[in-house]
Chains A and B, each alone.
Chain A
Amino acid sequence: MIAFQDLHKAFGPKRVLAGFSLDVRDGETMVIIGYSGTGKSVAIKHVVGLLDPDAGSVTVDGQAVHELDRTGLDVVRSRIGFVFQFAALFDSFTIYENIAFGLRRRRELGEGEIRDRVAHALELVDLPGTEQRMPAELSGGMRKRVGLARAIAIQPAYMLYDEPTTGLDPVTSAVIDALMVKTREALGVTSIVITHDMRSAYTVGDRIAMLFQGKVRQVGTVAEIRESADPVVRGFIEGRADAKPAEAATDLTAEEALAVEGAEG
């Protein structure tokens, strides 16, 4: 189980998370929605220790991530697959090397076993036979699928998806959604999906939480969120331009936005 407990995080004068609390139950897919720049990515980067909280904590299976030393953190990270917004593939490696890289960290795997795991992961994302290609040769959608293959190759207990369908056409988005569902069914993982694509949220989510002004505005099943009477939630899921409160997406100056973006990226 992953639990965010009263998480606070600020970048300079700008508070991004201000008492963010959320429990992600074993086996479920939790979708976190919210306006751009509200700190969704910041929240999940705490799960893998890429950011440390100013206050509060994130626990993974009862362990507070920010209290772990490097070795403990690596143990937790080896159980979490992270799919980055822009795939974050190592551009000097082939696709095979990208996927094998995380597996090589595990001493118990021989090269033959690594080769099998890479091939299996690529089959799961419908990209068999692409092992020797370079990331630059792939389309955006294919790169995201390789990013997904790299994450699932380590056979994680948890999957974190950071805006997996952002920037993709509707058909490719649907392919990625289907892959997320397939991954969950194949591996039985617990997942957190960050998105503002409501079609994707309804497709892959068991529950949906809306992050607003640094904390959870509402959390519930897909049906509960669809039927929400909260005007902020309704405005967001219906995508109404007039529904966005002035302070919703953090009114960052250009410099502050850069700092948040840098921290998120």
Chain B
Amino acid sequence: MLAAIGRSATGAVAGFGRIGLFLADTARALADVRTWGQALAQQMRRIGVDSLPITLFIAAFTGIVLALLASYTFTGAVPMYLVGTLVGKTLMMELGPVLTALALAGRVGATMAAELGTMKVTEQVDALETLAYNPYAYLVIPRVLAGTLMFPVVVAFAMGIGLFTGWIAAITLLPVSTDEFIRGLRLFYRPFDWQYGLIKSASFGFTISLIGCYLGLSTRGGAEGVGSATTRTVVYSAAMILLLDAYWAVTLLRAG
């Protein structure tokens, strides 16, 4: 029993040590701008543009459901123009960033883990090193930077589409006019609403990319290892998204 606890503790300390080394190597590689600069645009396109279809699909239906849910909740008790308030606040501050991040944990994070994991087990990462490339500069930094920069952009699009479909649902399916919807949207609105959503999105992008890269480059043992790294990336990313979501709520919403 004690031995098992000891082994777990040693394993946890070693794990934190490996993550620390990974972060230190990544931070050092930031100086190699020439290497990561050449790969950044491609990663930004892959994470940003290629993620838009699934993101917009999710946001479109979220907007519709939110409008109908608000209407169902408010009926007879709360003025219907508040549908706009609920759709706007919820999409910008919570569901836009979180649902998008959860979807992209599967799309972006898992892709990174699978890609880098395959490169690792097929010696392509070693080949990079022997050609005098720093894998942290060439593989990790472009992905993490692109994730951090492009997640807010993708989420901004999600917010826009969600608001649009929420408005369409409100004026076509509910007894709410465009003026009422906009009135509700503007009620209690603060620029901090969307800024809060975008700050969260950047932190989600940073975390998901970092987890995907770390687990990808830690892959061992062939196809099974790649599968394991991919699955763990999705699970750990989802957990971290929810943890970060709570963290930002506690730190920024209480202060705001």
Q: Contact mask B110-135 → A, CB, 8 Å, 1/0?
A: 00000000110111101101111110
Say whether B134 contacts A70, CB under 8 Å: yes
Say whether B127 contacts A84, CB under 8 Å: yes
Q: Say yes or no for B232: interface residue by CB 8 A criterion.
A: no
Q: How far is the CB of B194 from chain A (nearest CB, A)?
A: 36
- List A contacts of B225 (CB < 8 A): 262
Q: Say yes or no for A77: interface residue by CB 8 A criterion.
A: yes
Q: Say yes or no for B220: interface residue by CB 8 A criterion.
A: yes
Q: Which residue of A lies closest to B224 (CB)?
A: A258
- List A contacts of B122 (CB < 8 A): 86, 88, 91, 265
**Range of interface residues on B (Cβ < 8 Å):** 10 to 19
Say whether A265 contacts B123, CB under 8 Å: yes
A48 in complex: contacting residue of B28, B124, B129, B134, CB < 8 Å: B129
Contact of A88 with B131 at beta-carbon distance under 8 Å, contacts A258-B221, A259-B220, A262-B221 already known: no
- List A contacts of B118 (CB < 8 A): 91
Say whether B126 contacts A88, CB under 8 Å: yes
A157–B75 alpha-carbon span in the complex (Å):
80
Contact of A84 with B123 at beta-carbon distance under 8 Å, contacts A50-B130, A77-B130 already known: yes
Say whether A77 contacts B127, CB under 8 Å: no
A82 in complex: contacting residue of B28, B121, B124, B130, CB < 8 Å: B130
Say whether A88 contacts B124, CB under 8 Å: yes
Q: Say yes or no for A202: interface residue by CB 8 A criterion.
A: no
Say whether B123 contacts A77, CB under 8 Å: no
Say whether B127 contacts A88, CB under 8 Å: yes
Q: Say yes or no for A85: interface residue by CB 8 A criterion.
A: yes
**Range of interface residues on A (Cβ < 8 Å):** 20 to 34
A49–B127 alpha-carbon span in the complex (Å):
12
Q: How far is the CB of B25 from chain A (nearest CB, A)?
A: 10
Say whether A50 contacts B132, CB under 8 Å: no
A45–B130 alpha-carbon span in the complex (Å):
10
Say whether A86 contacts B123, CB under 8 Å: yes
- List B contacts of A113 (CB < 8 A): none
Q: How far is the CB of A193 from chain B (nearest CB, A)?
A: 16
A202–B154 alpha-carbon span in the complex (Å):
60
Say whether A101 contacts B123, CB under 8 Å: no
Q: Say yes or no for A43: interface residue by CB 8 A criterion.
A: no
Say whether A80 contacts B221, CB under 8 Å: no
- List B contacts of A77 (CB < 8 A): 129-132
A258 in complex: contacting residue of B124, B127, B129, B220, CB < 8 Å: B220
- List A contacts of B127 (CB < 8 A): 82, 84, 88-90
- List B contacts of A91 (CB < 8 A): 118, 122, 124
Q: Which residues on A are within 8 Å of B, measured CB to CB?
A: 45, 48-50, 70, 74, 77-78, 80-82, 84-86, 88-91, 101-102, 105, 150, 154, 258-259, 261-262, 265
- Give the top 4 A-B pairs by smallest Cβ distance, nearest first: A262-B220, A88-B123, A102-B131, A82-B130
Q: A90-B119, A105-B131, A265-B123 are in contact. List 20 more A-B contacts (CB 8 A).
A: A48-B130, A50-B130, A77-B129, A77-B130, A77-B131, A77-B132, A80-B130, A84-B127, A85-B123, A86-B122, A86-B123, A88-B123, A88-B126, A88-B127, A89-B124, A91-B124, A154-B131, A258-B221, A262-B121, A265-B126
